[in-house]
Amino acid sequence: MRRRASLVLLALAVCCAALAPLLRWYAYPRLAKVPPGQYQETVLEARDATLLDHTDGMRPKKVDKVTIVQTLKGNVEASREIEAGTGRDVVVWDTLSHIVGPDGRTVSQIPERYIFDAHTQEPVHAPGEAVDGDPVRREGIEFKWPFFAEPRDHLYFDAQTRTSSPIHYVGPRTFRGMDVHYFEQTVPWTKVPMPKKMPVEGIDPATIEQSTGTTLWYTTKRMFWVEPVTGAPVNGEEIIQQEMRGGLAAGAPDGRLTAFAGHVRMREDYSRHTAALVAANRTKILALHTYAPGGLAAGAPVLLGLALWLEARGRRRADGEGGPGAGGPVSA
């Protein structure tokens, strides 16, 4: 019986020793990826913001709140079509930023299509990659950092300017009990395209710029708290300023009209939900990357030691039973 048990333990030790590197170096790189059919909604708010009132003489006004609803939907069919041509696991996110004023009216809507590698989060350039209907060619990351994000500067794509620039690693932080990387990016004042969806129906942004000479300018300070294992931001904030210059803004001081100015933060309930979701995904990734391979690697020598101990004990018992006097006492 001990011989059989030692053989079973030996076989388990060999399996554990083989599975540990297999999980870490073969299974993890293939299984750790962003799912193609993900759907997510996030609500952000800018309290005590400044917003251009298009219905009252184009004047900036202080408002209690501006709400930004961001929806993210994975386009599975589009990802399959691109995968067929690239041979890579590709994710296609169709996103929409819907900006709503304090009266519930739409200020603007900006759709995006973001195409990236499911494993590395590197952009994949394919037809359909766009911001507000304009074709773009992204460089760097957007929305999400790579798995096991490094504490260093990364190239980050800004959808307003359609350009990429470094987002700087500032240092470690703690957010809702999680150790995170904190990043900041400042985009200087830049002339940007006007949103195709305007607050007033029938207004063509291209016509406004061409006929009146009015241009839209933008700057922001972007802040992200990123959980490094998942590469997912658990919190994000932006201090945004938008101005109209020239044309319709010619009568304003310095020829500038504030179109929007505010500190955009994630709403509290969505912040809690995002942190809980990231924490759950972190555990899954660590189980595949660290916990399971480490446990198997640690268990292999333990099982091998038990197998050898049982085998040695069985041999000693057999030698004791078969030695001198093994047949019992002999009488005269």
> pLDDT tens digits for 288-326?
899 888 998 898 888 888 878 877 777 777 666 655 544
For residues 86 and 102, state if they share a domain. Answer: yes
Per the prediction, the chain carries an average pLDDT of: 89
46 and 18 share one domain: no
Q: Are residues 71 and 192 in the same domain?
A: yes
Q: How far is C-alpha 111 from the geometric centre of its chain's CA atoms?
A: 18
For the stretch 239-254, pLDDT in tens is 999 999 988 777 777 7
Residues 313 and 227 in one domain: no
Residues 227 and 292 in one domain: no
Tell me, yes or no, whether 150 and 291 share the same domain: no
Q: How many structural domains are present in the chain?
A: 2
d(CA 143, CA 34): 12
Residue pLDDT, tens place only, 50-77? 998 877 667 899 999 999 999 999 999 9
What is the tens place of the pLDDT at every residue in 2-29?
567 777 877 888 898 888 898 888 888 8
**CA–CA dist 179, 127 (Å, integer):** 38
Element (H, E) at 239: strand 232-245
Residue 206 is predicted with a pLDDT of 73
Q: Which of 217, 220, 222 is CA-nearest to residue 235?
A: 222
Q: What is the mean pLDDT of residues 135-156?
A: 96
Give the domain extent around 245. Answer: 32-266
Distance CA 169, CA 171 (A): 6
**Is there a domain that residue 103 lies in?**
yes
Whether 324 is in a domain gets the answer no
pLDDT digits (tens, 9 = 90+) for 266-291: 999 999 999 999 999 999 999 989 98
CA distances from 187 to 141, 142, 190, 255, 278 (A): 15, 15, 8, 22, 27
Count the alpha carbons within 13 Å of 247 in the hemisphere toward its beta carbon: 16
pLDDT grade, residue 330 (50/70/90)? very low
Are 211 and 243 contained in the same domain?
yes
The rounded percent of the chain whose pLDDT value lies above 90 is 62
Pick from 100, 31, 26: nearest CA to 69: 100
Same domain, residue pair 56 and 96: yes
Does residue 135 fall inside a structural domain? yes
Can you tell me the distance from the alpha carbon of 199 to that of 249, in angstroms, rounded to the nearest whole number?
A: 17
| Domain assignment of residue 272, yes or no | no
Instruction: Note whether residue 282 is domain-resident.
Output: no
Out of 168-182, 208-222, 289-303, give the one with best mean pLDDT. Answer: 168-182
Task: Tell me what pLDDT residue 182 has.
Answer: 98
Residue 266 neighbours by CB distance under 10 Å: 22
**Residue 164 contacts residue 140 (beta carbons within 8 Å):** yes
- Is residue 114 one of the residues assigned to a domain? yes
Whether 50 and 125 share a structural domain: yes
Judgement on whether residues 69 and 85 belong to the same structural domain of the protein: yes
Query: Does 116 fall in a domain?
Result: yes
If phi over 0 gives left and psi between -120 and 50 gives alpha, with beta otherwise, what is residue 326?
alpha
**Cα–Cα distance between 124 and 332 in angstroms, integer?**
95
**CA angle, corner 130, sides to 129 and 132, nearest 5?**
160
User: Do 15 and 115 fall within a single domain?
Assistant: no
Q: Is residue 89 part of a domain?
A: yes
At CA 173, angle to CA 146 and CA 262, rounded to 5?
A: 85
> Could you tell me if 18 and 70 lie in one domain?
no
Say what the alpha-carbon torsion angle 45, 50, 51, 56 is, to the nearest 10 degrees.
140
Q: pLDDT confidence of 114, banded at 50, 70, 90?
A: very high
